[in-house]
Amino acid sequence: MTARRLTPFVVPQGDGLMPNTVAHGGWGPTLGGQVVGGLLARAVERQIDDRELHPARFTVEILRRVATEPLQVSATVTRSGRRMRSIDAAMTQDGELVARATALCLRRSPQPDGQFWSTPIDMPPMPDEPAEFDDSAPMFISALGADSLADGAIPWQYDGPRYAWLREVRDLVDGEELTPFIRAAMAVDVTSSLTNFGTTGLAFINADYTLALSRLPRGPYIGLAALTHYSADGVATGSATLCDAHGPIGTGLSVAIANYSFNPNGKKAASPA
């Protein structure tokens, strides 16, 4: 595959960061959840100075729409003990809090003996890559669902199992290599659309999401398999298994609210707040 440098999601600007338009999500000309989560994860990771501390849980709350304007991201350690560390992160624009995250890091230790049961997951094969990635899409994603849908139909817009393989193909911050934790934090945002598509489309917009990670991903690809969708009175929860080429690595959880103005072209979109 040809290696070509693509437009980064954000670039450093003064004491903050400036998003590029490629950072827009599907809900309009505002930052996509994967970019918001990735930047908060980047700030969290900078507070992990012990290689044996594993980022086991990471929760992002999107408090309001994040504009394509300068932003600042910071993180602080709220508690540090012998076996764990708790970290809070905040994203602000013009001094106003627009998103925040909490993370729990646990110290690695010898794995206990015994066999442990989990729901079996059978991921589809990893996709073939194009000859060259380009700037036409923010990431490379292979959305997989029913084989019987009409040409051009969204693979998740049906009543049945759905999957995704995705790969980040550009810098989150210009000139910085993506770490495994940041890759996972960006990928887990897909949990919401993966689990909240129904037969008539995507009617829920995520308000927050959580990554629970048993180990860091290995390699550039992260897969997701939808596990659950439960909704009532316009409130939805969805969960998915995350995996890499070697097997499951954790779980994604999304909490979402009904949104009836979804437009893939971004002309009309409501805020979750």
Q: Average per-residue pLDDT in the chain?
A: 90
Q: Tens of pLDDT along 17-73?
A: 999 999 998 777 889 999 999 999 999 999 999 999 999 999 999 999 999 999 999
Tokens coding 209:
């999401």
How do residues 101-140 score in pLDDT, each as one tens digit? 999 999 999 999 999 999 999 999 999 988 888 888 889 9
* Single-letter residue type at 39: L
Residue spans of the domains in the chain: they are 10-107+139-258
Q: Are strands 53-62 and 204-213 parallel, antiparallel or unpaired?
A: antiparallel
pLDDT tens by residue, 205-258: 989 999 999 999 999 999 999 999 999 999 999 999 999 999 999 999 999 999
The pLDDT score that the predictor gives to residue 4 is: 62
Residue-level pLDDT at 130? 87
pLDDT on residue 108 = 96
* Ramachandran bin of 89, using left for φ above 0, alpha for ψ from -120 to 50, beta for the remaining angles: beta
Fold of 10-107+139-258: Porin (2.40.160)
DSSP E strand stretches across 14-95: 16-19, 24-25, 28-31, 53-62, 72-80, 84-93
pLDDT computed for residue 201 by the predictor? 87
> Over the stretch 180-193, which tens digit does the pLDDT of each residue have?
999 999 999 999 99
Q: State the pTM of this model.
A: 0.92
